Chain A
Amino acid sequence: MDGRFLSKPDVIAASRSFICVRMMTYESASEAEILKSLWRRDAPLENTVFAILDSNGRAILRGGRSPSMLFRDSSELARTMNEISAYYHADKGTPESLPLVASVKLAVDVAACDHLPLAVVLGRTPEERQKLISALAPLAWSNELIGKLIYASGDGHDLKQIKGVQISSGYLFIAPNLFGTEGNTIAQLSSSASRSELERSARQVVQSYRPLILNHHDHVRAGHEEGIEWQTAIPVTDPHSLEAMARDRLRHR
């Protein structure tokens, strides 16, 4: 992802007037169709797609893989975002639902990619999970925690790659490993936890989280050396990515 743009304070500030969606390419067939509709006609879907849409999903800006293809620098992107949000009077309203990754497995990977801890809502039934999700959602959008955790929900069957779980319903805070293939439980709260207990735990996890980060090249090399391989939900079609994968396979054969 384009950290030169997306980690800049002016872009982050401007993003608060938008609904920001980051879909995981090749992890959902239905989302791939949406991305293809925003991509170049008849071209294979590439690893990244960037667009700005109105609230009805109509494109305002599209056609690039990343903001760097459309903007000179982060200031220009932030300025454009501010102009768009002013035009749409977009300074009101905050999202209310918990931003849930589609599965715990994918969420562990995303948390590793973002170098953030993961919060898992654990419940035996959909009704129980929904109640716990509703209690956590306002915290996720609070000034103190916004954008600082990844979220997922599931039951005991979804926790095969999570170590140290001692509860069957409640909240788990997870530290993913370097490759996002496993996670360690660093805090857990039962379903009877109060809002203040939940807030305190979330804040402590965020404040104390210290991920190990390798540079891009070393990360990929270490993954190949350890024999790690991620299976995407649908086939990768990015020509550059396919070339790189073929090269890497030959190199590590």
Chain B
Amino acid sequence: MISRILMLLIFLALSANSAFAESEGIAWIPTWQQAFAEASKTHKPIFLLSAAPQCAGIPGIW
């Protein structure tokens, strides 16, 4: 019974995230050096953010 509930929860979690990567997102350049080179070339302003790819030492989450 518990394993069925667990399977259902995983299924629901995956269903809720279906096509996640298909949705539009900001196209981040991940390094300053590359971004600055592109800005110099295109003369576009820079939208800058930094974020730590870990929370309390746990990776996989901003």
A and B: partners? yes
The answer to whether B29 touches A24, judged by C-beta atoms less than 8 angstroms apart, is no
Q: How far is the CA of A19 from the CA of B25 in the complex (A)?
A: 14
A57 near B39 with CB under 8 A, answer yes
Contact yes or no, B47 A95, CB < 8 A? no
Q: Which residues of B contact A (CB under 8 A)?
A: 10, 13-14, 16-22, 24-32, 34-62
* Total A-B contacts with CB atoms under 8 angstroms apart: 272
Contact of A47 (CB < 8 Å), options: B47, B52, B59: B52
What is the total number of residues of chain A having a CB less than 8 Å from a CB of chain B? 100
Enumerate 24 A-B pairs (CB-CB under 8 Å) in ascending A order: A19-B45, A19-B46, A19-B47, A20-B26, A20-B35, A21-B31, A23-B49, A27-B53, A49-B50, A56-B39, A88-B43, A92-B42, A96-B38, A100-B34, A109-B53, A110-B53, A113-B61, A115-B21, A180-B59, A211-B17, A212-B14, A224-B58, A228-B59, A236-B52
Q: Are A209 and B20 in contact (CB under 8 A)?
A: yes
Closest to A140 in B: B27
Question: In chain A, what residue has the closest Cβ to B38?
Answer: A95
> Are the C-beta atoms of B26 and A12 separated by less than 8 Å?
yes
B residues less than 8 Å from A101 (CB atoms): 30-31
Q: Mark A1-45, 1 if CB is under 8 A from B, else 0.
A: 100001101011001111111111111101100110010000000
Contact A31 B31 (CB under 8 A): yes
A17 touches B44 (CB 8 A): yes
